[in-house]
């Protein structure tokens, strides 16, 4: 606002050429269309001098491309891990000159649909539909009117939209392996989910797949999971309660908490019972929430790759845009590896007698 912005026509007039020429040169198609070097140079320098910037709206209106992608999430606020996902997407997008529209639905399907529509009204080049904890989602109608990606989510029903999510099964294996490798064979308890694969928070993919991975490794190593405690909310309080419950009946040697907040609650219950981590009880958890590095001793946790997830979603989105109109194949699921963050919460157990 304020001063009128410089247009293509201004640049053309100042250079003494047509708008076609300026447009071609600035779009980098000068060589291709054999605009003379001299003209190209003059165009570029006047554009620079005048401070010309393309009007994305008019380009969008003309070409259908707006260098913009939409990011619809259920919540950004509840988890700052989510912030990293958005950040990853933003950076990847920004690298290619794209901007991100952000919208938060609060999980309300009506709001989801409204956001998707509002973004299409603005002619986004694609939409990332993100869940803030790994779960199945109902794909909102209209999402697949353009390129789209599901982030940290899998479609509840069939959908042609590809997905990007963490490799939770492998993360489950990694967590179990940490305990097994440290020599733990007995007194292993789960906090947050289990014992059955359906004893998980609603729609949670993370819980289910982590369980699958853990049970594989524990079974293979002959480790029996003594008890498992499904928690509804995975907050510190829930971890605290579950751990107290465990302590009422058992003398645990190792706790696998399904996320770091549960583990934080477990720490509190253990401290109250005068049990020390890791000397009395080893603790492993998931997510690499900041709290994991704040507690003492620091938690060993399997990190959610939020940043990579966001970046990968953008990448998949671009690939999808390019691959448009090709024969539809089965929707693709991309898995991003989760990495072990070593803390000091696991004790190495002396080799058992054989």
Residues of the shown chain interacting with a second copy in the complex, contacts defined by CB under 8 A: 1-3, 5, 53-58, 60-61, 66, 68, 71, 76-80, 82-84, 86-87, 90-91, 94, 97, 99-104, 115, 117-123, 144-147, 235-237, 261, 264-265, 268, 271, 291, 294, 296, 324
From the list a second copy, DNA, none, partner contacted by residue 296 (C-beta under 5 to 8 A by kind): a second copy
Q: Where are the alpha helices (DSSP H) in 122-222?
A: 168-181, 205-220
Q: For residue 343, give the DSSP letter.
A: -
Q: Report what 18 binds from DNA, a second copy, none; CB cut-off 5-8 Å by kind.
A: DNA
Q: Which pair of structure tokens corresponds to residue 225? A: 């999971």
Residues 49-68 close enough to bind DNA by CB under 7 A: 52-55, 58-59, 61-63
Q: How many residues does the chain have?
A: 354
Residues 301, 259: Cα–Cα separation, whole Å: 8
Give the pair of three-digit tokens for residue 214: 């853990």
Q: Name which of 66 and 163 has its Cβ closer to DNA.
A: 66
Residue 66 interacting partner from DNA, a second copy, none (CB closer than 5 to 8 Å by kind): a second copy
Looking only at residues 60 through 119 of this chain, which bind DNA when binding is defined by CB under 7 A?
61-63
In the complex, the smallest distance separating the C-beta of residue 317 from DNA, rounded to whole angstroms, is 21
Calculate the CA 104 to chain-centre distance.
15
121 contacts 138 by C-beta, under 8 angstroms: no
C-beta of 20 vs 95, nearer to DNA: 20
Mark the segment that binds DNA (CB under 7 A) among 21-29, 98-106, 284-292, 332-340.
Answer: 21-29
In the block, residue with structure tokens 């001063």: 3
Of a second copy, DNA, none, which one sits near residue 147, judging by CB under 5 to 8 A according to partner kind?
a second copy
Shortest separation between residue 274's beta carbon and a second copy, angstroms: 12
Crossing angle for the helix pair 19-26 and 37-50, to the nearest 10 degrees? 90
* CB distance 333 to 163 below 8 Å: yes
Give burial (CB, 10 Å; 0-12/13-18/19+) of 7.
Answer: middle
Give me the helices (H) in the chain, please. 8-15, 19-26, 37-50, 56-63, 80-95, 109-121, 168-181, 205-220, 236-249, 260-272, 291-294, 306-322
Task: Give the residue with the Cβ less far from a second copy, 67 or 227.
Answer: 67
- Residue 48 within binding range of DNA, rule CB under 7 A: no
Subset of residues 295 to 354 that bind DNA, contact rule: CB under 7 A: none
State the minimum distance, in angstroms, from the CB of residue 142 to DNA: 16
Q: Return the ∠ at Cα 53 (arms to 50 and 56), rounded to 5°.
A: 160
Q: Which is nearer to a second copy, 1 or 157 (CB)?
A: 1
20 contact partners, CB below 8 Å, separation of at least 6: none
Distance, C-alpha 62 to centroid of its chain: 33
Stretch that binds DNA, among 13-21, 108-116, 224-232, 255-263 (CB under 7 A): 13-21
Segment near DNA (CB under 7 A); pick from 47-55, 69-77, 146-154, 219-227: 47-55
Measured from the CB atom, is 5 or 96 closer to DNA? 5
For the CB of residue 223, give the shortest distance to a second copy in the complex, in Å: 30
Residues that bind DNA (CB under 7 A): 4-5, 7-9, 16-21, 23-24, 26-27, 33-36, 38-39, 52-55, 58-59, 61-63
């Amino acid at each position: 606002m304020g001063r009128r912005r410089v247009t293509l026509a201004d640049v053309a007039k100042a250079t003494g050429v047509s708008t076609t020429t300026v447009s071609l040169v600035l779009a980098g198609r000068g060589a291709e269309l054999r605009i003379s070097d001299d003209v190209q140079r003059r165009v570029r320098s006047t554009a620079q001098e005048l401070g010309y910037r393309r009007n994305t709206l008019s380009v969008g209106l003309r070409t259908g491309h707006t260098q913009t992608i939409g990011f619809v999430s259920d919540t950004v606020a509840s988890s700052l891990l989510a912030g990293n996902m958005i950040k990853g997407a933003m950076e990847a997008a920004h690298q290619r000159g794209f901007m991100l529209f952000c919208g938060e639905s609060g999980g309300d399907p009506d709001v989801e649909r409204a956001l998707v529509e509002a973004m299409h009204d603005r002619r986004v080049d694609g939409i990332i539909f993100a869940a803030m904890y790994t779960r199945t989602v109902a794909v909102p109608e209209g999402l697949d009117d353009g390129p789209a990606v599901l982030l940290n989510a899998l479609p509840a029903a069939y959908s042609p939209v590809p997905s990007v999510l963490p490799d939770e099964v492998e993360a489950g294996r990694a967590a179990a392996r940490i305990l097994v490798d440290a020599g733990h064979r007995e007194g292993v308890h789960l906090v947050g989910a289990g014992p059955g694969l359906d004893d998980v928070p609603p729609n949670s993919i993370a819980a289910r797949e982590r369980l699958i991975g853990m049970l594989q490794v524990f079974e293979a190593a002959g480790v029996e999971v003594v008890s498992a405690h499904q928690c509804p909310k995975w907050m510190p309080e829930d971890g605290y309660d579950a751990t107290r419950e465990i302590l009422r009946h058992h003398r645990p040697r190792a706790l696998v908490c399904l996320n770091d907040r549960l583990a934080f609650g477990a720490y509190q219950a253990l401290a109250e019972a005068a049990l020390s981590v890791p000397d009395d009880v080893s603790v492993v958890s998931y997510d690499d929430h900041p709290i994991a590095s704040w507690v003492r001793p620091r938690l060993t946790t399997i990190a959610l790759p939020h940043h990579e997830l966001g970046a990968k979603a953008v990448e998949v989105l671009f690939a999808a845009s390019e691959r448009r109109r090709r024969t539809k194949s089965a929707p693709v699921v991309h898995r991003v590896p989760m990495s072990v963050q070593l803390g000091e919460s696991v004790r190495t157990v002396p080799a058992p007698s054989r």
